[in-house]
Structure 1
Amino acid sequence: MTDATRPGAAPTLPVIFIVATIVIEAMGIGLILPVMPSLLREIQGADLAQAAIWGGVLSSSYALMQFLFSPTIGNLSDRFGRRPVLLLSMAVIFVDYIVMALAGSLWLLLVGRIVAGIAAATMSTANAFMADISDPAKKAQNFGLISAAFGAGFVLGPATGGLLAEWGPRAPFWAAAILSGANLAFGLIVLPETLRRPRAFEWRRANPLGGLRAIGKLPGLGALMVVWFFYQVANWVYPAVWAYFTQSAFGWDEAMVGLSLAAYGISMVVVQGVLIRWIVPRLGERRTLAWFLPYNAVILVMVAFVPHGWLMLLLTPLSALGAIVAPALQGLASRIADDDQQGELQGVLASITAVAAIISPLLMTRLFSVATEGERHFPGAPFLAACALMAVSWTLFRRARPADAAVGQEGPDPAALGASSGSGRARNDRPT
């Protein structure tokens, strides 16, 4: 075993490859957002409203492939190893970006996004690689590297796409192909195999619906999962229609769209990395949700009717502040689940998020098209729909108290949980 693969070893060249892979894959989500309206109009010869519909189809197909293939690819890496799965994924992404850069039809572009969604479903394999090379004391730090890499890619993607759009809507794809090819060559040289005990591949363990079925195994969490679903569908309005909305409402070009998306991403990093450490401990998860779910609804109404681009920029950090809902809801749910159910819970939340990422782009881009077609011009319509969904989420949360009444501001009530399941016995010794 080399230094690079020994548990506890300091991050070295293989870890740099893993981080670069996650950055490139995350960039792929946001890289095309600023240029997608122009690219679709160039290929389709249609107006912005029609381009938005196809943009929703492309976004949803990418999310659907990630939902379907993430567990499959993770299981393949347990059978055949981390190295071949990661390198093959990067090779496919490299070729796929070239195909999309040359695509002359909508169907070829759609196939490109489907293939990209499958190939980019390697987060589980990257985490498995980190687990292979880390001792228990270092795992959290190394997993943090992957989260940071994803965040960096999500910020860099829109900014890079917007800036490169000056050379045409296909330039970001060529840049991504170059990055992917360089990273593939780097990985071929430095990436070792870290899997020590392969196991047989079983389709039943690679089934993405297994996580959704687990909801029924977590007493008291059903209502919170529904709240999570409506919140996610509402919140996905931003990546789904932002490029179309800002071009239609304010006349922004691709560079401005990319920079605004990057500003939103940076604001979210500040909120979830800094402000959450101050807000949630003072309010508690329940009060945070009770305040910030309606706060999000108000912000969405303001976005729908904002008259000027500069006002929209001022609203960007305020809208990002609403992202505090997700970790607060995760924290509240994790109080109900037992210690040996935490991974199962996070898998359920991830699955629901993926479903929301499939539904929301289709819904929101269709609303945008209807609201801006012909003589109609109300590009903010999707944000009003998102406001209604956010209000549903808040209403369901307020009504969910009987289901999760065991959870207070300071911690769960063991007796209440024990009344609904046998898990209460495991909690009776825990301080509240």
Structure 2
Amino acid sequence: MIRPLVVIFTAIVLDAVGIGLIFPILPSLLQDVTHAENVAPYIGIMTALYAVMQFIFAPVLGSLSDRLGRRPVLLISLAGAAINYLFLAFAPNVWKLLLGRAIAGLTSANISVAMAYITDISPEDKRARRFGLFNAMFGIGFIIGPVLGGALGDDWLRLPFIAAAVLNACNLLLAFFVLPESRTPTREKIDLAALNPLRPLRWVFSVKSLLPIIFIFFVFSATGEAYGTCWALWGSDTFQWSGLWIGLSLGTFGVCQTLAQAFLPGPAVKLLGERAAILTGVTGTCIALIVMAFATQSWMIFAIMPIFALGGIGVPALQSLATRQVDESQQGQFQGVLASAVSLASIAGPLIFSSFYFVAREQWPGAIWLFVVVVYAIGIPLVLGLRLKEPAPAPAM
């Protein structure tokens, strides 16, 4: 039982490493292949394209794993990831980089298969703990990725992709020889209608009382996309950071967020209540963003990381509050809707923030962080207006 979990958790770490390693080097890489001075729009398109592919193919891979088995789908996705990173390492122009990033998003959609595998092999009393470890592995990978990408990218812009290809190839070999099948494939015909990623959203518009909480999730998730999209550009433009320093700053941010989410939400909700914990998290994040907007020295960014980490208590508190908006019989459907909202935010956020940065860069790069504060402010009245309502019946889909 331990060996399959090691393989699955390693795959999750590598998925997160693959997401994070490109952030520190992406501006320089795009400048190298496009020869454009302001590459913010390209960054937004690449980040959104990755999210689009995840959004579309997560349900597809999940359904295929039900019919064909978890093991073959995971092996194919790991092989695809290794080949894709080699493709990215030697892509000579922006169109091939975009194609490679799209394939990367497709292969990273195996997260839904990994979660299904953990469910298959875990008794109910161990699932919560193992899903907690699942989230921790993703956090670890996202901390390692930017640091690894920044350090290797300073030597050669393509080197991080070669490193990721080697790591995924090693995990593919490990999975091939160690990972057993976790369930008997059904071999049933796939229901194409069930693969529509927008299908869960149909319910939202029939239960309008849930629209505010869905919109809050969308807004807060979209703000999180600003960091991956604009952090490296801003660090380079404002402080002339190298890839290593961009990676270290993102890694520090990831460590603080992970620690805050691991230890603060429970005590914060118990002391303040869910609504106040959400607002406290938003306040801490906005204070840090305002400091970043006006910062003139690098040390200021690292100094405010503990304040930034307060934002880590907001999302778990929001998730807790959200679960109380519907009764137990609707929780699965509701969580599917929230996942769809987060996915759509991952597509829209990079396009919005990269466009703003493209316009503001010459005059004031730090203005991007004030724009993020403004977007946060849109959600605050909705948080204040949330009420625990009687759950509405779910119509048949």
- Normalising by the smaller structure, the TM-score range is over 0.9
Aligned partner letter, 2:142: F
Partner in structure 1 of residue 150 of structure 2? 162
Aligned partner letter, 1:228: F
Pairwise CA RMSD: 1.7
1:231 partnered with 2:228? no
Partner in structure 1 of residue 319 of structure 2? 330
Partner in structure 1 of residue 278 of structure 2? 289
Q: How does 1:5-16 map to 2 (within 5 A)?
A: 10-12=1-3, 14-16=4-6
Residue number among 53, 58, 61 corresponding to 1:65 in the alignment:
53
1:194 partnered with 2:182? yes
CA displacement, residues 72-115 of structure 1 (integer Å, 9 cap, x when unaligned): 11011111110110000001101000000001100000000001
Residue number among 148, 153, 173 corresponding to 2:161 in the alignment:
173
CA displacement, residues 34-55 of structure 1 (integer Å, 9 cap, x when unaligned): 11111111111122xx222211
- How far did residue 218 of structure 1 move? 5.2
Contact 1:160/1:258 (<8 A) preserved: yes
Partner in structure 1 of residue 18 of structure 2? 28
- How far did residue 219 of structure 1 move? 6.3
CA distance in 1, matches of 2:135, 2:281: 24
CA distance in 2, matches of 1:200, 1:67: 22
Match of 2:183, SS state, is coil
CA distance in 2, matches of 1:295, 1:161: 28
Residue number among 364, 380, 384 corresponding to 1:394 in the alignment:
380
Match of 1:336, SS state, is coil
- How far did residue 310 of structure 1 move? 0.7
CA distance in 2, matches of 1:251, 1:165: 15
- How far did residue 217 of structure 1 move? 5.6
Contact 2:258/2:312 (<8 A) preserved: no
Aligned partner letter, 2:230: V
- How far did residue 297 of structure 1 move? 2.9
CA distance in 2, matches of 1:231, 1:141: 26
1:342 partnered with 2:331? yes
Partner in structure 1 of residue 306 of structure 2? 317
1:219/1:364 Cα in 2 relative to 1: closer, same or farther (>3 Å)?
closer
Contact 1:218/1:337 (<8 A) preserved: no
Partner in structure 2 of residue 18 of structure 1? 8
- How far did residue 342 of structure 1 move? 2.0
- How far did residue 311 of structure 1 move? 0.4
- How far did residue 179 of structure 1 move? 0.4
Aligned partner letter, 1:37: P
- How far did residue 385 of structure 1 move? 1.3
1:37 partnered with 2:23? no
Match of 1:32, SS state, is helix
Match of 2:360, SS state, is helix
Contact 1:158/1:258 (<8 A) preserved: yes
Q: How does 1:270-309 map to 2 (within 5 A)?
A: 270-309=259-298
Contact 1:294/1:391 (<8 A) preserved: no
- What TM-score do you get using the length of structure 1 for normalisation? 0.87
Deviating more after overlay: 227-236 vs 258-267: 227-236
Contact 1:233/1:386 (<8 A) preserved: no
Deviating more after overlay: 174-183 vs 341-350: 341-350
- How far did residue 234 of structure 1 move? 2.0
CA distance in 2, matches of 1:330, 1:219: 19
CA distance in 2, matches of 1:143, 1:290: 27
Contact 1:219/1:421 (<8 A) preserved: no
Partner in structure 2 of residue 378 of structure 1? 364
1:217/1:337 Cα in 2 relative to 1: closer, same or farther (>3 Å)?
farther
CA distance in 2, matches of 1:167, 1:61: 27
Contact 1:297/1:391 (<8 A) preserved: no
Contact 2:21/2:160 (<8 A) preserved: yes
CA distance in 2, matches of 1:253, 1:152: 22
- What TM-score do you get using the length of structure 2 for normalisation? 0.95
Percent identical residues: 37
Residue number among 97, 118, 123 corresponding to 2:106 in the alignment:
118
Give the number of aligned pairs. Answer: 393
CA distance in 2, matches of 1:304, 1:84: 47
Moved over 4 A (4+): none
Bigger Rg over Cα: 1
CA distance in 2, matches of 1:130, 1:388: 39
CA distance in 2, matches of 1:42, 1:341: 50
1:253 partnered with 2:242? yes
1:79 partnered with 2:100? no
1:300/1:85 Cα in 2 relative to 1: closer, same or farther (>3 Å)?
same
CA distance in 2, matches of 1:93, 1:135: 30
